[in-house]
Amino acid sequence: MRTLTELAPEASQQAPSLRAETGSGAAGQSRIHESAVKHVTGRAAYIDDIPCPADTLHLALGLSPVAHGRLTRLDLEKVKAAPGVVDVITIVDVPGHTDIGPVFPGDPLFVDDEISYVGQVIFAVAAESYQAARRAVTLAVVEIDEQPASLDPVAAAERGDFVRPTHHHQSGDWEQALRDATYVLEGEQFVGGQEHFYLEGQACLVTPSEDEGVVIHTSNQHPSETQKLVAEVLDIPFHAVTAEMRRMGGGFGGKETQASPWACIAALVARRTGRAAKLRLPRAEDMRATGKRHPFHNRYRLGIDDQGVLVGGEITVIGDCGYSPDLSDAVVDRAMFHSDNAYSLGQARVTGHRAKTHTASNTAFRGFGGPQGVMIIEQVMDDIARHIGEDPLTVRKRNLYRPGRDVTHYGQRVEQLQLLHDLIAELEQSSDYWARRQAISDFNRTSPIIKKGLALTPVKFGISFTVQHLNQAGALLHVYTDGSVMINHGGTEMGQGLHTKVCQVVARELGLDIERVRITATRTDKVPNTSPTAASSGADLNGQAAKDAAAKLRERLFDFAAEHYRLDRDGMRLEGGALVAGQGEAERRLPWAELVQAAYLGRVSLSEKGFYATPLIHYDRNTGKGRPFYYYAHGAAVSEVEVDTLSGEYRVSRVDILHDVGDSLNPAIDIGQIEGAFIQGMGWMTSEELKWNDAGRLVSDGPATYKIPAFGDLPPVMNVKLLEGHPNSQASIYRSKAVGEPPFMLGISVWSALRDALASLADYRVAPQLDTPATPERVLMVAQALRDAQGAA
Ligand code: MTE
Ligand code: HPA
Ligand code: MOS
């Protein structure tokens, strides 16, 4: 292991120029996160930092201790009588909707009689203090007629126990392809789930408003949906509810739908008591009560030719959805859309099942099912390589989309066909792949216990919500008479730098220094009917909406200036903090603040709204065909691992990443996203293990038992570069590309490198079965099995 001081020089070498702040900070330039200083000095306010009104009530929840059963008795008399308790609520106290399913029904706000998972909310207590509420919860008398819990998604799928119907993609005659193939390979895998482990847990503070409504402060990726659900639960109009969100301490998908229940419960208390209500889940309850990344069981039967190129066949993915639909239809769709990753499947059928189990309802998590789909085909690539005796990188390259093989199994044509070929070629060079491959083979031949592994895996990730109507955004721009600018939009900030990027867009459109542009909290009464900040599309959608608003305002100011100052309207521009008209000798410059002041006196509106809807996209669920994605974002990573095959312990010694963000909106932030996503993906593949006991209770419910990557797990060498010279082929915001989720899948290269190291135990002739997370225990068991098989042979 390296020491801190050894690591430091390398860390500081990383792209120093990108860390620098230069120029106006407009879109396209590196610029620190708008809250960076506040983040590191503790001045950035999260929900728990908001000063509560003096009479605030604190909430605690009574959660189901069993996974499946019927509630036969609920006696809350002692709870109500406990010191400090002001209100206790259950399902019967809900005046409006009792089901808060976000897309399809199935999520009761409180247990009615059927219990579906450990951690399901049965009742809520509001008390003068948090401690009083917590103590009172324990006084409840709860009797449950416990029934066997269904915890095996494969068995559920076999029984046809689904939360949503099965869906297929089909291109060509997959059965004929299997008959025509030189070889037919088969395999399966288990891909584990993942806890979001946002540092700020689920939290909200709700205050009653003058009339029948509420104001909700919520750590939330989807304020508009929470507004809607709270209104429906309270049975009041949407306009009586305002949701506000300044920033989250991480969301990662876990606050797309699953931030709403807490706001609904707190809102009920606030309306019933006329007092503010605060609800913040303790970590263990947060982990029990909320859904996670879907675990998947995947299978394939695919034919290849003698070169190892896929000719077709079938892939089946089974998502473990938990007890209700939540977002699972779209999550399993995305797993299906990405079961090809970067490779043409040939003539294939892809089937996606949505299995129902008695666990919390699994939900969005960075990649949104995409990573689980990518996993199956990346296993296939390694399996083919072992079968035909070629390097896995050679097999991957042969299978990439290319001319003549450029249409996905769901009918979308891959537009930037050459990009991934170029990107991989560049990374192959810069990471020194082939020399290291040779060195590793030599090392492994002479090292009996420590085995090294190397893998390059690519990603091609579809950008757009696969639910078409979500691909829209709005923005509201105000210019004040001192020339300062306020931009509001529907996106939420969760650390990803969205607000920084949107400020940069406005600064660029108005020719201003970014210091003059500010964003405050996202609020449903400023920009209405917003989509969740998800699908990596925050900057794409809200950036375009902000640009639209800024461009409209700019044109209005040009009209005003042309008339008021008698300037030439043609060629007028905003740059360097001034309006510029005319060329050369005739050039006139008017400082921005002066222009704005004059426009105000001239009674010109200094406020504008913007709107954007992504063009071109469509998907027909009946035929399983369409163009669900506006474009694809790409990348590739090379990971090297060292495995101790006697203990199963391993470390990631080096990572090289080359990633496609088109023309970056902010290279420094994009590199930060890539680093974070890679490490989070690596954690998913390696150390983050969710464990439920046989009764369906999550036992890995805190940081002591659930291991996210720590500082010491970071690869000592990690080179991250942005691909240059490939602007987006579609007219996205300044030809940039979304970055939030795609690099998460680069973490898969660590898993593939582990398989590579293990395969060396069988002279690279066997593709070891390695389920995920590939914990040291799993790695050890595979190593032993390979050794035993070698010994027997
Ligand atoms: N980065 C940070 N720091 N914190 C987060 O919660 N969420 C990720 C990604 N990057 C996340 C993050 C997820 S799941 C998504 S969909 C995108 O950010 C959402 O933001 P964007 O669309 O603005 O990129
Ligand atoms: N990605 C993320 N969140 C979503 C999506 C998606 O494709 N669809 C609905 N919510
Ligand atoms: Mo991200 S999983 O789309 O919130």
Catalytic option among 244, 608, 642, 741: 741
CA of 535 to the centre of ligand 1 (A): 8
What pLDDT score was predicted for residue 16? 40
* Closest CA relative to residue 689, chosen from 676, 706, 711: 706
Q: Which residues contact 625 (CB under 8 A, 6 or more apart)?
A: 169, 410, 411, 619
CA of 470 to the centre of ligand 2 (A): 8
From the CA of 536, give the closest atom in ligand 3.
3
Asked whether 62 lines ligand 1 (CB < 6 A), one says no
Ligand 3 lining (C-beta closer than 6 Å): 221, 253, 256, 364-366, 368, 534-535, 741
To test the pocket of ligand 2, the residue of 257, 326, 337, 470 to mutate (highest count of ligand atoms within 8 Å of its CB) is: 470
What pLDDT score was predicted for residue 8? 39
Give the separation between CA 776 and CA 784, rounded to whole angstroms. Answer: 12
Give the separation between CA 457 and CA 751, rounded to whole angstroms. Answer: 10
What pLDDT score was predicted for residue 9? 39
Q: Which residues contact 122 (CB under 8 A, 6 or more apart)?
A: 62, 63, 64, 71, 74, 90, 110, 111, 115, 140, 142
What pLDDT score was predicted for residue 701? 97
Bridge partners of residue 533, in order along the sequence: none
369 φ, ψ (degrees, to nearest 5): 90, -25
Asked whether 90 lines ligand 1 (CB < 6 A), one says no
pLDDT in tens, 273-302: 999 999 999 999 999 999 999 999 999 999
Asked whether 465 lines ligand 1 (CB < 6 A), one says no
- Nearest residue (CA) to ligand 2, atom 5: 465
From the CA of 333, give the closest atom in ligand 2.
7
Q: Are 343 and 409 in contact (CB under 8 A)?
A: no
From the CA of 334, give the closest atom in ligand 2.
7
pTM over 0.75: yes
- Residue 252 CA: which ligand is closest? 1
What pLDDT score was predicted for residue 3? 38
CA of 356 to the centre of ligand 3 (A): 22
What pLDDT score was predicted for residue 520? 87
Bridge partners of residue 204, in order along the sequence: 218, 279
Tell me whether residue 390 is one of the annotated catalytic residues: no
Residues of the chain with pLDDT under 70: 1-22, 793
From the CA of 465, give the closest atom in ligand 2.
7
- Residue 198 CA: which ligand is closest? 1
- Residue 250 CA: which ligand is closest? 1
Q: Hey, what are 502's tokens?
A: 């949107």
Give the separation between CA 596 and CA 606, rounded to whole angstroms. Answer: 8
Q: Which amino acid is at 466?
A: T
Q: How many helices (H) and strands (E) does the chain have?
A: 21, 29
Question: Length of the chain in residues, anyone?
Answer: 793
The radius of gyration computed from the CA coordinates of the chain, to the nearest angstrom, equals 27
Give the separation between CA 130 and CA 277, rounded to whole angstroms. Answer: 11
719 φ, ψ (degrees, to nearest 5): -100, 120
- Residue 258 CA: which ligand is closest? 3
pLDDT in tens, 610-634: 999 999 999 999 999 999 999 999 9
Ligand 2 lining (C-beta closer than 6 Å): 256, 327, 330, 334, 364, 368, 465-467, 470, 534-535
CA of 330 to the centre of ligand 2 (A): 6
Which string of DSSP letters, residue by residue, matches 55-77? T-EEEEEEE-SSSSEEEEEEE-H
